[in-house]
Structure 1
Amino acid sequence: MPIFLRDACSFDLPTITAIYREAVLNGVASYEIAPPEQGEMAARFSAITGQGYPYIAAIDEGGSLLGYAYASAFRTRPAYRWMVEDSIYLGPEARGRGIGTLLLTELIRRCTDLGFRQMVAVIGGAHPASIALHQALGFEETGRLKGTGYKHGRWLDTMIMQRPLGDGSASDPDTSTYPGTLFKA
């Protein structure tokens, strides 16, 4: 079954909220304990897209949203402006079908095109499938924070992975422009 990628839109928020809800309640990718309601997810969506970061939806041929991915600021201090953090969430029916690879590949392409130089993955629960996905797309482990979250009755580690975009740190960025809108005056 073909999968199509497109910009996520406000129409997608009920399904995005449901996918994230399932991940919060049953998974370790997010360290949130109580899933946010749709209004909060809408505010987060608006904050991310309003700053010029990509937010992508994966859709099947019947029009169902199967998963989503977005980039956002790793940190908000200006020197970090060339680095983004990726987030990917899939509905249970979409896992293990290569949809995460499609979403992350497109997210990397879009962030590179926007001029970002580094992408970081902060992988809650050091989840093996997420680590494998990121490794397959050129991310390297840059650190492990032990016992950083307590969820589902156990302590969880957080894996930090990083990948250069474009020239990465091999050359200076064009400081006359900033990627996204986060740091524009």
Structure 2
Amino acid sequence: MGESRLVRDATIEDAVACADIYAPYVRDTVVSFELEPPTAGEMAARIEAALARHAWVVLEDGGRVVGYAYGTTFNPRAAYDWAASVSVYTGTGRRRTGAGRALYAALLDRLAGRGLRTALAGVALPNDASIGLHTAMGFEPVGTYRRVGWKLGRWHDVTWLQRPLGDGPVQDGAPPAPPK
């Protein structure tokens, strides 16, 4: 990364920038299955919720937020408490610049530090760039839901990938410490 690039924990004040980065993905692509871009207020609530239980990081370049990544609840049932659903978004023109890798590296470290054991990511197909990023970050494909999402006039498949977090093996027996 360049001297002016910094990955840091997000704050509520980053909501406007994150909403601006995300909006084109919602409006113009199937990368997100949301149909309406969230407002800055909605994004602030998402950041606050992620920081309380998981993590949300932003990438600054020259003092301006140009990307973000976050972890959130994979499934609300208690047995899934050690798993997080993760996503990364970068601003226009940031593909293949190392931004996604930098964001994910920081995010995955923070999630592991909180005691989470598994990161999961859903990728709407086709999206070779996202599959490549996830594979490079140690994710492995675990399955594909066929024709599960309807957006922009057609059905889309979603491939799921996962990777372990933290040190040491996941063992059966005594329950793990709850995530922090």
> Under a length normalisation based on structure 2, what TM-score does the superposition of the two structures give?
0.91
Is 2:134 the partner of 1:134? Answer: yes
Amino acid of the structure 1 residue aligned with 2:32: S
RMSD between superposed Cα atoms in Å: 1.8
* Shift in Å, 1:125: 3.1
Question: 2-side partners of 1:66 and 1:81: how far apart?
Answer: 30
Structure 1's 38 and 155: CA in aligned 2 closer, same or farther, altered over 3 A? Answer: same
What is the letter of the counterpart of residue 30 of structure 1?
A: S
1:183 corresponds to which residue? none
Query: Which residue number in structure 2 is paired with residue 55 of structure 1?
Result: 56
AA matched with 1:165: L
How many Å separate the matches in 2 of 1:4 and 1:17? Answer: 19
For 1:55-94, list aligned pairs within 5 A: 55-60=56-61, 62-94=62-94
How far apart in 1 are the matches of 2:168 and 2:85?
14
Q: 2: distance between equivalents of 1:111 and 1:101? A: 15
| Letter matched to residue 115 of structure 2 | G
Q: CA deviation at 1:167?
A: 4.9
Give, in whole Å, the separation in 2 of the partners of 1:41 and 1:74: 18
Counterpart-to-counterpart distance in 1, 2:14 and 2:173: 34
Distance 1:168 1:72, change over 3 A: farther
- Displacement of 1:49: 1.6
CA contact (8 A) 1:70 1:107 kept: yes
Partner residue, 1:160: 160
| CA–CA distance in structure 1, aligned partners of residues 171 and 126 of structure 2 | 31
1:92 aligns to what SS in structure 2? coil
Distance 1:175 1:115 in 2: 12
Paired residues of 2:10 and 2:47 also in contact (CA < 8 A): no
Where 2:93 maps in the other structure, the secondary structure is helix
Secondary structure class of the residue paired with 2:24: helix
> Number of residue pairs matched?
178
For 1:13, the equivalent position in structure 2 comes to 15
Aligned residues: percent identity?
Answer: 38
CA spacing shift, 1:175–1:13, aligned 2, 3 Å: same
**Ranges in structure 2 where 5+ consecutive residues have no aligned partner:** none
Flag the 1:5–1:175 CA change in 2: closer, same or farther, 3 A: same
What's the counterpart of residue 151 of structure 1? 151
Cα-to-partner distance string for 1:32-67 (whole Å, 9 max, x where unaligned):
11111112112222222223x11100011x201110
Counterpart pick for 2:47 among 30, 45, 48: 45
Q: Give, in angstroms, the shift of residue 169 of structure 1.
A: 5.5
Unaligned runs of 5+ in 1: 181-185
Q: CA deviation at 1:95?
A: 1.9
